[in-house]
Amino acid sequence: MTLKQLQNLTIIDQDITNDAYGTFYDKRSLDQLLKYGLILLNKPPGPTSHETVAWTKRILKIPKIGHSGTLDPQVSGVLPLGLGEATKALEVLLYGPKEYHAIGRLHSLPSEEKFNKVLKQFTGEIFQKPPQRSAVLRRTRTRTIYKLELLEKKER
């Protein structure tokens, strides 16, 4: 499903939803959840995305689980998992916005005004090449950074 198709989806109000075409999430049986469910897994640093999926398959005893996107082994973050038939819907998640939080250390701390001025230079369309050791193919691609902000700073 493309982003354009996603934007053109019709949202049906729950008051007019026909039960013959599905079940509300809070009324689904365990069997339905395991066949058509999504899990938003907080992957810890260490294992690869593939290892995390393999462990989940083994724990839940489900033969078919897929993941949307890939997280490098050394990072933690949300790894969306599709169970059974839900694997077909995972591609939609790749088109949505993402949010990243990072911790950095600077040699000296500039003024907040100067720091924000530098952050502004990194917003907009940028070129990105994944690092040497990365879980994805290393090719230069464009990405759009909509917002960068300093959430917290700590003096040394």
Active site residues: 72
Token output for 88: 């077909």
Strands 65-67 and 77-83, how do they pair? antiparallel
For residue 79, the number of C-alpha atoms closer than 13 Å in the C-beta half-sphere is 24
| Cβ 101 vs Cβ 119: under 8 Å | no
Q: Where are the alpha helices (DSSP H) in 105-156?
A: 112-121
* One-letter amino acid for residue 11 of the chain: I
